[in-house]
Structure 1
Amino acid sequence: MEFHDNPLAFNKFVVESLLKDGSDPDATYVIEHHFSSEDFDLLEKAAVAAYKKGFEATDAEEFITDDDIEILSFDVIAEAPLNVEAINAQTKQMAELAKEFGVEYDGWGTEFIDPDDDGEYENDEYDEYEDK
């Protein structure tokens, strides 16, 4: 299922898939909303507007498409519970931001969160990073 075909159905599909796979239903998720444009100035204005609305915006990255077109992109970082209503509300807000600045909103992503993960590393190689 593609995000652009039906964003709200896509949101429901992703949320249900993560939960079905056992992702923690009670966790707060880091959501990365993806934006792109060929115009750096428009993209930068959208990133600044997202920042002013209280979101973190990543630095723009450059990609070259299969058609040799330079595309710039950045992510808006948000947090939300993994439920369809919360994701739909963010999706609508991000789509409005994209429309306002004439950039593309390419959907969102997040990571699986294991409800049994206590955040501790089982590998001794990571011991140096733990607080002692």
Structure 2
Amino acid sequence: MSYTDIIKEQKSETRGIIAALLEDGSDPSALYTIEHHLSATSTYAEMDSVVVEAFKLGFEVKELEVKNGSRMICFDAIMETVLNADRIDGQVGKLVALAEKHSIDYDGWGTYFESNK
């Protein structure tokens, strides 16, 4: 899938996620922890430069290694932000470009329900 296709798909998914959260009663004015998921079959050494670049872009980084017959290295690039589609689109754009540059996968983003109580 091309960079343009990924960005277009993610914009649609972002708006869907935000709409679902708000429909369920999540607080529209809360700060949300946005976790962008990236993965690769790279080695730690190869992924280290990606993690460093994500950190330099302002993201907190959490690494995870999955072993189920094949090796997959995953990490989340995390940032707190308001629930604003344009702002999240900007984060997605930076991380999709980073993923494309290093030939790894951008696997979307997620967050958690925030109560307004």
Match of 1:35 in 2: 38
Q: Which amino acid aligns with 2:113?
A: F
Q: How many residues are paired up? A: 111
Instruction: Name which of 7, 12, 15 aligns with 1:9.
Output: 12
Match of 2:113 in 1: 112
Query: CA–CA distance in 2 between the matches of 1:52 and 1:27?
Result: 25
Instruction: Name which of 5, 11, 28 aligns with 1:25.
Output: 28
Query: Deviations along 1:45-64, whole A, 9 cap, x unmatched?
Result: 11111112222111232242
Contact 1:33 1:75 in 2 (8 A): yes
Match of 1:56 in 2: 60
Query: Deviations along 1:88-130, whole A, 9 cap, x unmatched?
Result: 11111110111111111101110000001xxxxxxxxxxxxxx
SS in 2 for 1:95: helix
The answer to whether the aligner puts 1:95 opposite 2:96 as a matched pair is yes
Query: How far did residue 4 of structure 1 move?
Result: 8.6
Root mean square deviation, CA, Å? 1.8
Instruction: In structure 1, list runs of 5 or more residues that go unmatched.
Output: 117-132
Instruction: In structure 2, list runs of 5 or more residues that go unmatched.
Output: 1-5
Q: Which amino acid aligns with 2:86?
A: E
**What is the TM-score normalised by the length of structure 2?**
0.86
* Larger strand percent: 2
Q: Identity rate of aligned residues, in percent?
A: 34
CA distance 1:63–1:31, shift in 2 (3 Å): farther
Using CA pairs under 8 Å that are at least 6 residues apart, name the structure with larger relative contact order, 1 or 2. 2
**What is the TM-score normalised by the length of structure 1?**
0.77
* Larger helix percent: 2
**In terms of Rg, which structure is larger?**
1
Query: CA–CA distance in 2 between the matches of 1:5 and 1:92?
Result: 10
Query: How far did residue 5 of structure 1 move?
Result: 8.2
Query: CA–CA distance in 2 between the matches of 1:4 and 1:71?
Result: 23
Match of 1:46 in 2: 50
Query: CA–CA distance in 2 between the matches of 1:62 and 1:8?
Result: 28
Q: Which amino acid aligns with 2:58?
A: G
